[in-house]
Amino acid sequence: MPTATATDVHESAAHNSAAHNSAAADRATLLGAWRAHRNAELTTHLAYHGSPPLPQRGDRTWPERFAAAIEESGLTGRGGASFPSATKLRLVGSARGNPTLVVNAMEGEPASAKDKVLLSCVPHLVLDGAELAASALGATRIVVCVAADRPDILAGVVRAVKERAGSSLAPVPVEVQQPPARYVAGEESALVSWLNSGPGAPSWRPDKRTPLTIGRRPVLVHNAETLAHMALVARYGASAFRAVGTTDAPGTALVTVSGGVEHPGVYEVAMGTTLGSVIERTRPTADVAAVLTGGFGGSWVSAAALDTPYAPRPLAEVGGVVGPGVLVVLTRRACGIAETARLARYMAGESAGQCGPCVFGLPAVADDLAYLAIGTRDRDAIRRLEMRVATVDGRGACRHPDGVARMVRSALSVFASDAAAHGAGRPCVFANEPSVLPPTVIAPLVPTS
């Protein structure tokens, strides 16, 4: 999916609700301007949305009014953690020093394309959100981070920044940086480490309420989608944001759907839309067997969960996660154990290499899964896998091994009968079928040890 382009934007599933039957309601969605005009230029953006409601000089009550609107909307971060956005804003705003706002558009998750779609189709909505949040914080600097291997995204961002430079739309200066393109590089502590001229590796943070810093200045890191939502809430109000979604999970979200489907791409959906409804729009190529929710560090759920609302709490109840907004569809013409083995191999190679659970544990997990996928007779294979996963879970310097452990555990549960058959020496007939995963992560099912 990282090859997705602006043409991979699909009509919003939110259109199916009564609240989105009018052009006025569609104006409060992330991709409304793109659907209406297929143009990302500043003039088109302003004609559609109008100028962002930035504070007037001397208005000292504006920052709290902005934070209150975000709080009332119920917006949570769309980068994976689902942390309340207003809480994060206030925590950084209460720290000493003029903050830096970092726009996380790294898109390290290989199965995601929403950052590319946002910055290709509606870059000014993201920049509006960044300027609004920066103004609320009293920030003196905005840094947009785009992975070094994404020249396509970089070009669009640089063009959009230049369109606004020196105008009233850019009260806080914006710069664009290109950190290394790695899976873990987009984790917020890794991003801040790199901006501090460090190694760009994640760090252990037992209490995420303590702000990160660049030098001695606090930093607020928000992903591109969260900031775009902030721009909409500031313009149209909290009630417009809550017009779709659920009480616990209001608003819309961007979801990248790939795998065994005819129409992979980025979909804007109302939170609470069922998994099955989202996936049905993509036209699966065969009966759905399972869905990987939340990306490569997420969790598999079976087809029995397709009636589950797409929102954090309902998904958690069936073992799934929203995460960064990724769904990978597995049909009955694919082997879940083989695909999980490929995922584990990729994730083992993407660690920061700074602790034993990643350096030794993840490759061992990947090897065990590869042996299982090819049907090596080993009745202890599942027990050994469970033991290895327990060994790495919660023991790393960051959360990377924990995500792999969760993903592997979910596979052993969802594909339990397949795993048992493979351990008995009966490989799946679909083990050597073409993978549904992005080409950049496909690896041969060959153990390294």
Per-residue pLDDT, 380? 83
- With CA atoms as reference, report the closest residue to 158 among 130, 120, 187: 120
Please give the residue range of the domain that contains residue 322: 252-331
Residue 94 lies inside a defined structural domain of this protein: yes
Same domain, 271 and 393: no
Same domain, 394 and 276: no
Q: In sequence order, which residues have a C-beta less than 8 Å from that of residue 371 and are 6 or more positions away?
A: 378, 381, 447
Percent of the chain, pLDDT > 70? 91
- With CA atoms as reference, report the closest residue to 347 among 140, 20, 109, 43: 109
User: Could you give the CA distance from residue 172 to residue 150 in angstroms, rounded to a whole number?
Assistant: 25
Same domain, 112 and 152: yes
pLDDT at position 20 over 50 = no
For the chain, the straight-line distance linking the first and the last C-alpha, in angstroms and rounded, comes to 30
List the alpha helices (DSSP H) in 258-377.
Answer: 275-280, 312-317, 336-349, 356, 362-373
Q: Give residue for tokens 């000089």.
A: 57
- Which CATH number goes with the domain that contains 356? 1.20.1440.230
Backbone phi, then psi, for 98, in 5-degree steps?
A: -75, 120
Same domain, 184 and 208: yes
Q: Is 397 exposed, middle or buried (0-12, 13-18, 19+ CB in 10 A)?
A: middle
Residue 447 lies inside a defined structural domain of this protein: no
Same domain, 341 and 327: no
Task: Examine the fold and report which residue of 297, 331, 365 is the final residue of a domain before the chain moves on.
Answer: 331
Residue 221 lies inside a defined structural domain of this protein: yes
Residue 246 lies inside a defined structural domain of this protein: no
Q: What is the pLDDT of residues 27-77, one digit of tens each?
A: 889 999 999 999 999 999 999 999 999 999 889 999 999 999 999 999 998
Residue 232 lies inside a defined structural domain of this protein: yes
pLDDT category of residue 446 using cuts at 50, 70 and 90: low
- Which CATH number goes with the domain that contains 54? 3.40.50.11540
Task: Examine the fold and report which residue of 213, 241, 269 is the final residue of a domain before the chain moves on.
Answer: 241
Per-residue pLDDT, 23? 57
Per-residue pLDDT, 441? 66
Per-residue pLDDT, 265? 95
Same domain, 315 and 358: no
Q: What is the pLDDT of residues 97-124, one digit of tens each?
A: 889 999 999 998 999 999 999 999 999 9
User: Could you give the CA distance from residue 50 to residue 129 in angstroms, rounded to a whole number?
Assistant: 13
- Which CATH number goes with the domain that contains 277? 3.10.20.600
- With CA atoms as reference, report the closest residue to 73 among 193, 234, 218: 234
Same domain, 410 and 363: yes
Same domain, 369 and 237: no
Q: Is 103 exposed, middle or buried (0-12, 13-18, 19+ CB in 10 A)?
A: buried
- With CA atoms as reference, report the closest residue to 227 among 132, 346, 305: 132
User: Could you give the CA distance from residue 113 to residue 336 in angstroms, rounded to a whole number?
Assistant: 23
Quick check: 366 and 345 in contact, CB under 8 A?
Answer: yes
Residue 22 lies inside a defined structural domain of this protein: yes
Same domain, 13 and 116: yes
- Mean pLDDT of the residues in the chain: 89
- Specify the number of domains making up the chain: 3
Residue 124 lies inside a defined structural domain of this protein: yes
Residue 323 lies inside a defined structural domain of this protein: yes
Same domain, 86 and 212: yes
User: Could you give the CA distance from residue 428 to residue 338 in angstroms, rounded to a whole number?
Assistant: 9
Pair type for strands 100-105 and 141-146 = parallel
Same domain, 292 and 347: no
Same domain, 293 and 356: no
Quick check: 42 and 155 in contact, CB under 8 A?
Answer: no
In terms of pLDDT, which residue wins out, 326 or 438?
A: 326
Task: Examine the fold and report which residue of 308, 331, 354 is the final residue of a domain before the chain moves on.
Answer: 331
Q: What is the pLDDT of residues 254-307, one digit of tens each?
A: 999 999 999 999 999 999 999 999 999 999 999 999 999 999 999 999 999 999
The pTM assigned to this predicted structure is: 0.91
Q: In sequence order, which residues have a C-beta less than 8 Å from that of residue 381 and are 6 or more positions away?
A: 368, 371, 372, 419, 422, 423
Q: What is the pLDDT of residues 218-232, one digit of tens each?
A: 999 999 999 999 999
